[in-house]
Structure 1
Amino acid sequence: MDPGDLELTLLKITSPPSDGVSYLDFSPQQDYLAAASWDNQVRVYEVLQTGSTVAKVAYPHEAPVFCVKWCPDGTKLVSGGADNAARLYDVNTGQSQQIAQHSQPVKSVLYINENIVATGSWDKTIAYWDTRSPQPIGIIHLPERVYSMDSFGGMLVAGTADNTISIIDLGNPTVIFKSEPSPLKFQIRKVACFTVGKGYAVASIEGRVGIQYIDPQEQVKNFSFKCHRDEAKNIYSVNDISFHPVYGTFSTAGSDGSVNIWDKDRKQRLKEYPKVNGTISCTAFNRNGSILAYAVSYDWSKGYKYASNVNKIYLHAVKEDVNPGSLKKR
């Protein structure tokens, strides 16, 4: 979909989840958006050329769902959650089956290739599963619970509850290639791998993002910056980071209800979208980067007293917002 195909800048998905939205992921093959929710469901929406959406399918877990990822060929989904399991849903057959079991909730799932899935759990392990077999084909033990993980270019990065970043070379997937402390002092909310170059970004509950390079020769470019703060000096959690698939710029979304677009190479903010009335829990770019989806859903950053069951998913038509060259045109 070309951004010009969306007639409005911002569109709301119809029939959103009935409870908190925990994860969003676009198909790498077409404009299908998967949403994981605390209502024990994974839902798939088709984004039409007009920008309107159609709820296509839904499948259940036995407890809240924390994560969902599309298969590289767009024919399957894998999801994990508080039922300590990962499930595989086949788009063509409409069938789902359990493919992984942990002793604690599954917080992150990733496709390594068409048939191999990685699951990161609060049981302090990452397990690798061949989706055609009921037993793990490899397990790696981490120092603490997995809070977030991502992979790109043969590298997997996991952030754990003790603020450690574990880097794994997927050529040797059961060994930690490198372990280092997070560059941020406070709890990790998200790790996301660069889509251009070798490195990752990490976000924390204390309104900061760290940019880290893997190559020792490039580590002089490591830096951290403050974000998602207001003039009253309130500090908000950075709940998600999504890298643009074309330009390598990235979005941050937070408890302050804002989405920002950043250029890590120039250390500049490219765009700040108008704030929404609520906290933003998760984000995702579509396959060509023309759409940014984000969920307005309570993230519990202020505790139960401020809990809200307002759950919405918006689609934003991305134009020059994410292009680092757009700064020169202004």
Structure 2
Amino acid sequence: MVFAEAQTEFKLKQVAEEPISSVKFGAHSNQLLLVSSWDSTVRLYDVSANTLRHKYNHDAPVLDCCFQDAVHSYSGGLDNTLKSYDFNTTTETVIGSHSEAIRCVEYASEINAIVTGSWDANIKLWDSRMPGSCTGTYNTADKVYTMSLCGEKLVVGTAKRKIIVWDLRNMAYPSQKRESSLKYQTRAIRCFPNKQGFVLSSIEGRVAVEYLDRNPEIQKKKYAFKCHRIKEDGLERIYPVNAISFHSQYNTFATGGSDGYVNVWDGFNKKRLCQFHRYNTSITSLSFSQNGTVLAIACSYLHEMEAPPSTPEPETAVYIRHVTDQETKPK
């Protein structure tokens, strides 16, 4: 494992002052980055020029966002509302709503639909061509905390450590229901680009690598490991692992924790490839660009650790880091 030297890394300008909930590059972009925030905004950045291109608002904090294509985004949050925004015409459209906060928003290109997951314990599918066109509501029994698309598969993590897998082509019933192999609340799930499985993280400094194929021989390969822990004065502090992002080419992944560190892992060979320098506060979201040469790193103070009295809160920031093969390619 190498400690990564400081590569070309810079801060985005005109970032929200409230915590960042999500950063996402487009599926075909190394340049355009969406950033949603607790300040109720969604911002579009051109990272190569370090410029804010567009900004639009919700009526309450935004918890997630995604691209459909280079000119359309979707977002949802504590106003329970799913919005789309057209960056060409600078027009926004209310697509629909949940009865509670929308926690997750993803665009499923396989079926040309938007998928939302909510604290109302429902997944909804929306036709991207028509406002108000909910094409299905699917109960998850518990609050949705995180979800990820794996081709035509949808992997959802809910409260009570439940993992539910659907096939988007047939949503009549889940294709799998599991319990997380981690003991504590699920914080993030992301699927391998090769579609073989997924990685999930918990609030208690652990990450699990799981496989979708239920063949017992394949299931023997799953494992979990400890990470984002710091030993100080003989005590081990354990931090939530808030963010996961996959390198699309190498099937390696980055994790970000409330310890302020970003680690890059080779999940198949069970190795940590590198650790970046420590950031000023918790890592809340990560996104590799489409070709894997750039990593967006959102840092926001989450009030999880008690700050000493009269200490100013660390500033919210989004860093754009150019990463190398040495940091991200399996050895």
Per the TM superposition, whether the score is higher than 0.5 is yes
- Please list the CA deviations of residues 270-320 of structure 1 after superposition, one character each: whole Å capped at 9, or x if unmatched: 001111121111110111110001011012322687883611000111112
1:251 and 2:257 correspond: no
Q: Is the 8 A contact 2:280 2:314 kept in 1?
A: no
What are the residue-to-residue correspondences of 1:160-199 with 2, within 5 Å? 160-199=158-197
Percent of residue pairs bearing the same amino acid type? 36
User: Do the aligned partners of residues 9 and 156 (structure 1) sit closer, same or farther apart at CA in structure 2, a change above 3 Å counting?
Assistant: same
| Aligned partner (choices 92, 96, 102) of residue 100 of structure 1 | 96
Return the alpha-carbon distance in structure 2 between the equivalents of residues 124 and 145 of structure 1.
4
Helix, strand or coil at the partner of 2:220: helix
Return the alpha-carbon distance in structure 2 between the equivalents of residues 153 and 122 of structure 1.
24
1:130 and 2:158 correspond: no
Query: 1:315 corresponds to which residue?
Result: 320
- Please list the CA deviations of residues 65-105 of structure 1 after superposition, one character each: whole Å capped at 9, or x if unmatched: 0000111x322100010000110011221111110211000
Residue type at the aligned position of 2:322: A
Gaps of 5+ in 1: 1-6, 326-330
Return the alpha-carbon distance in structure 2 between the equivalents of residues 136 and 147 of structure 1.
21
Q: Is the 8 A contact 2:209 2:222 kept in 1?
A: yes
Query: 1:213 corresponds to which residue?
Result: 211
Residue type at the aligned position of 2:86: D
1:64 and 2:61 correspond: yes
Q: Is the 8 A contact 1:240 1:281 kept in 2?
A: yes
Q: Is the 8 A contact 1:20 1:309 kept in 2?
A: no
Query: 1:82 corresponds to which residue?
Result: 78
Query: 1:144 corresponds to which residue?
Result: 142
Query: 1:240 corresponds to which residue?
Result: 243
Query: 1:4 corresponds to which residue?
Result: none
Return the alpha-carbon distance in structure 2 between the equivalents of residues 307 and 322 of structure 1.
34
| Cα deviation, residue 29, structure 1 | 2.8
Q: Is the 8 A contact 2:260 2:278 kept in 1?
A: yes
| Cα deviation, residue 173, structure 1 | 2.3
Residue type at the aligned position of 2:21: S
- Please list the CA deviations of residues 252-275 of structure 1 after superposition, one character each: whole Å capped at 9, or x if unmatched: 000000000000110000001111
| Aligned partner (choices 299, 302, 313) of residue 305 of structure 2 | 302
User: Do the aligned partners of residues 303 and 76 (structure 1) sit closer, same or farther apart at CA in structure 2, a change above 3 Å counting?
Assistant: farther
| Cα deviation, residue 28, structure 1 | 2.1
User: Do the aligned partners of residues 78 and 235 (structure 1) sit closer, same or farther apart at CA in structure 2, a change above 3 Å counting?
Assistant: same
Runs (4+) of structure 1 exceeding 4 A deviation are 303-307
Return the alpha-carbon distance in structure 1 between the equivalents of residues 161 and 15 of structure 2.
33
Return the alpha-carbon distance in structure 2 between the equivalents of residues 77 and 11 of structure 1.
25
Helix, strand or coil at the partner of 2:231: coil
Residue type at the aligned position of 2:15: P
Q: Is the 8 A contact 2:196 2:212 kept in 1?
A: yes
Query: 2:3 corresponds to which residue?
Result: none
Q: Is the 8 A contact 1:259 1:273 kept in 2?
A: yes
What are the residue-to-residue correspondences of 1:213-232 with 2, within 5 Å? 213-217=211-215, 218-232=218-232
Residue type at the aligned position of 1:36: S
Residue type at the aligned position of 2:323: V
Helix, strand or coil at the partner of 2:56: strand
Return the alpha-carbon distance in structure 2 between the equivalents of residues 133 and 172 of structure 1.
23
Return the alpha-carbon distance in structure 1 between the equivalents of residues 36 and 306 of structure 2.
21
Residue type at the aligned position of 2:120: D
Query: 2:278 corresponds to which residue?
Result: 275
Q: Is the 8 A contact 2:281 2:314 kept in 1?
A: no
Helix, strand or coil at the partner of 1:162: helix
Query: 1:15 corresponds to which residue?
Result: 14
Query: 1:34 corresponds to which residue?
Result: 34
Q: Is the 8 A contact 1:298 1:307 kept in 2?
A: no
| Cα deviation, residue 153, structure 1 | 1.5
Return the alpha-carbon distance in structure 2 between the equivalents of residues 314 and 116 of structure 1.
30
> Which structure's relative contact order is higher, taking Cα pairs within 8 Å and 6+ residues apart?
2
Q: Point out the more displaced range, 30-39 or 130-139.
A: 130-139
Residue type at the aligned position of 1:119: T
